[in-house]
Amino acid sequence: MTNKLYDTSLSLLTDLYQVTMAYGYWKTKTAEKEAVFNLYFRKNPFNGGFTIACGLANVIGYIDNFGFSKKDLRYLKTLVGNDGKPLFEEAFIDYLANLKLTCDIEAIPEGTVVFPNEPLVRVRGPILQCQLLETPLLNLINFESLIATKAARLRLVVENDTLLEFGLRRAQGVDGGMTASRAAYIGGCDATSNVLAGKLYDIPVGGTHAHSWVMSFTDEQQAFDAYADVLPNNVTLLVDTYDSLQGVRHAIETGHRLKQRGYKLAGIRLDSGDLAYLSIEARKLLDAAGFEDTAIVASNDLDETIISSLRQQGAKINVWGVGTKLVTAFDQPALGGVYKLAALRRERSSQPDEDGALAWEYKMKLSEQAIKISTPGIQQVRRFSDERGFIADMIYDSERMDGSISKAITMIDPLDFTKRRRFDANQDFDDLLIPVFRLGKRVYEIPDIHSVRAKVQTQLAKLHPGVKRFVNPHTYPVGLEKGLHELKTKLILSLREGQTQV
């Protein structure tokens, strides 16, 4: 099982400006200039305190299959500028025909808990190649991370109950449905109703039946009995087509017949009305009839807020079916991930290469808003932890700071330089970005989807509850290593004075 959706080249799945810039780099003979780009987001979605990294498997699929086909090239040849003449010259099209990716890519593995400003993916290589990857990488990481985060939030509220993803019919198109099912499973759903996702991604599939089944019979009892006859080992009956509690009584009747045949009534589903009241009453009826093990499934525009309220009201629901608001990431339609140039290698001749840092020209985007000023550097994230869990994350420049920690390290809050933390040499840590491609060759095995899903839960267990709460969550500390902070400050000052380099 590959966990990949893309088995064909999607190299034109990019914005036109990436191709026009690529042409520009090629034309100005800077295509091969070595660049470093970081992909990160600035704010956790859903006003939450954390994000789940997801989408790397599809990034890998995209890159594994990268390459412009003859048809792609033929199409690019048809593009014209505002004078009606071709946008790109033939020689550039030939260049693209032979283009093979040779980038080094590091990434934070899927299922990892991540925070604003941390590079989830770092791409290093010829600037033309890095540039072409901007849009697809953002497309693939933003959406899946958003949905995995939504599912993780749902998992936090349902605790050990069963969580089903029912979203395909409301998803944003085919791919929105497919990738949402994958990310929702990783984030913490137990199964999906999406059969193709089940097949392609090895996700358990499951579900009940629709109102149409009941409506196609003259009465509900007949409908339930017929369903139980056909699929005696898969009976969860939707009871709310006419009157929910009457429906439960009919389901109990069917349940008795199933029992006589050696099967069981697996569940009933409520899909309208007051789900707290109805589930409590349904539970009483089921228990009184000896169906203590029959599950109560609920669906109907659920999300983490409604589920949390239902649980507080004492609802007797043990399976939650969540569709629309999960796969459309209600109520935040996108994760705002960005991909920024962070360094360019200097011309070999212009600088001695004795210090790794001197080899690079650090780059950043200025902004009036401090949060939008990008951080330069060949970034790595160091996550410090102790026996209770994660303590803080520090972004550092892997070329400037020796990766081995032999002395104390100071981390500075990027939005308030007076806030500092010191970590001594024996503090436990992990560096989060790991090599995925070296010179365009894959050096990373995609883990199976079940272990990624399990990882989300072990990661969340290491987060302080305050960071996981939904209302005004505590901000998990993410800082810059002191040297990187100083470099950034120096660069901001020099850029503001109209210079471009440090």
Ligand X SMILES: O=P(O)(O)OC[C@H]1O[C@H](OP(=O)(O)OP(=O)(O)O)[C@H](O)[C@@H]1O
Ligand Y SMILES: O=C(O)c1cccnc1
Question: Of 264 and 311, which CB lies nearer to ligand ATP in the complex structure?
Answer: 311
Task: Report d(CA 447, CA 108) in Å as an integer.
Answer: 13
Distance of closest approach, residue 157 Cβ to ligand ATP, in angstroms: 13
Measured at CB, which residue is nearest to ligand Y?
207
Measured at CB, which residue is nearest to ligand X?
323
Q: Side-chain half-sphere of 305: how many Cα atoms within 13 Å? A: 9
Of these partners, ligand Y, ligand ATP, ligand X, none, which one is at the site of residue 276 (CB under 5 to 8 Å by kind)? ligand ATP
Q: Interacting stretch for ligand X, rule CB under 6 A, among 84-92, 147-155, 297-305, 488-496?
A: 297-305
**What is the contact mask toward ligand X in residues 159 to 198, using x (rule: CB under 6 A)?**
-------x--xx----------------------------
Strands 236-238 and 191-192, how do they pair?
unpaired
CB < 8 Å & 24+ apart, contacts of 207-216: 207/164, 207/166, 207/236, 207/321, 208/236, 208/237, 208/238, 208/267, 208/269, 208/297, 208/321, 209/236, 209/237, 209/238, 210/238, 211/238, 211/240, 211/241, 211/271, 213/238, 214/238, 214/241, 214/242, 215/241
Question: Of 268 and 329, which CB lies nearer to ligand Y in the complex structure?
Answer: 268
Distance of closest approach, residue 325 Cβ to ligand X, in angstroms: 6
Task: Report d(CA 322, CA 300) in Å as an integer.
Answer: 8
- 154 belongs to the binding site for ligand ATP (CB under 6 A): no
Choose, by CB under 6 A, the member of 69, 309, 451, 501 that binds ligand ATP.
Answer: 309
Cα 427 from chain centre: 29
Please give, one letter per residue, the 3-state secondary structure of 162-230: EEEECCHHHCCHHHHHHHHHHHHHHHCCCEECCHHHHHHHCCCECCCCCHHHHHCCCCHHHHHHHHHHH
- CB burial of residue 350 (10 Å; 0-12, 13-18, 19+): exposed
- 409 belongs to the binding site for ligand X (CB under 6 A): no
Tokens representing 322 are: 């969540």
Task: Report d(CA 151, CA 33) in Å as an integer.
Answer: 41
Q: Interacting stretch for ligand ATP, rule CB under 6 A, among 25-33, 162-170, 269-277, 378-386?
A: 269-277
Question: Of 138 and 270, which CB lies nearer to ligand Y in the complex structure?
Answer: 270
Q: Interacting stretch for ligand ATP, rule CB under 6 A, among 270-278, 282-290, 330-338, 475-483?
A: 270-278
Choose, by CB under 6 A, the member of 323, 376, 377, 479 that binds ligand X.
Answer: 323
- 119 belongs to the binding site for ligand X (CB under 6 A): no
- 141 belongs to the binding site for ligand ATP (CB under 6 A): no
Q: Interacting stretch for ligand ATP, rule CB under 6 A, among 106-114, 225-233, 306-314, 460-468?
A: 306-314
Question: Of 88 and 166, which CB lies nearer to ligand X in the complex structure?
Answer: 166
Of these partners, ligand ATP, ligand X, ligand Y, none, which one is at the site of residue 207 (CB under 5 to 8 Å by kind)? ligand Y
Question: Of 149 and 299, which CB lies nearer to ligand ATP in the complex structure?
Answer: 299
Does residue 289 contact residue 252 with C-beta atoms inside 8 Å? yes
Distance of closest approach, residue 323 Cβ to ligand ATP, in angstroms: 11
The 10 Å Cβ neighbour count of residue 265 is 26
- 209 belongs to the binding site for ligand X (CB under 6 A): no
Distance of closest approach, residue 270 Cβ to ligand Y, in angstroms: 11
Q: 3-state DSSP call for residue 129?
A: helix
Of these partners, ligand X, ligand Y, ligand ATP, none, which one is at the site of residue 127 (CB under 5 to 8 Å by kind)? none
Choose, by CB under 6 A, the member of 275, 319, 378, 412 that binds ligand ATP.
Answer: 275
Does residue 131 contact residue 25 with C-beta atoms inside 8 Å? yes
Question: Of 271 and 481, which CB lies nearer to ligand X in the complex structure?
Answer: 271
Question: Of 116 and 273, which CB lies nearer to ligand X in the complex structure?
Answer: 273
Residues 214-273, interacting with ligand X (CB under 6 A): 271
Does residue 370 contact residue 415 with C-beta atoms inside 8 Å? yes
Choose, by CB under 6 A, the member of 300, 385, 410, 427 that binds ligand X.
Answer: 300
- Where on the chain is the footprint of ligand Y (CB under 6 A)? 166, 193, 207-208, 269, 299, 321, 323
Distance of closest approach, residue 287 Cβ to ligand ATP, in angstroms: 20
Of these partners, ligand Y, ligand ATP, ligand X, none, which one is at the site of residue 202 (CB under 5 to 8 Å by kind)? none
- 297 belongs to the binding site for ligand ATP (CB under 6 A): no
Distance of closest approach, residue 465 Cβ to ligand Y, in angstroms: 32
Nearest to 147 by CA among 131, 165, 174: 165
Question: Of 302 and 436, which CB lies nearer to ligand X in the complex structure?
Answer: 302
- CB burial of residue 351 (10 Å; 0-12, 13-18, 19+): middle
DSSP 250-312: HHHHHHHHHHHTT----EEEE-SS-HHHHHHHHHHHHHHTT-TT-EEEE-SS--HHHHHHHHH
Choose, by CB under 6 A, the member of 203, 296, 310, 484 that binds ligand ATP.
Answer: 310
Amino acid at site 370: A
Task: Report d(CA 390, CA 466) in Å as an integer.
Answer: 12
Output phi, psi for 496, to 5 deg: -65, -25
- Interacting residues with ligand X (CB under 6 A): 166, 169-170, 271, 299-302, 321-325
Interacting residue ranges for ligand ATP, rule: CB under 6 A: 272-276, 300-302, 306, 309-310, 313
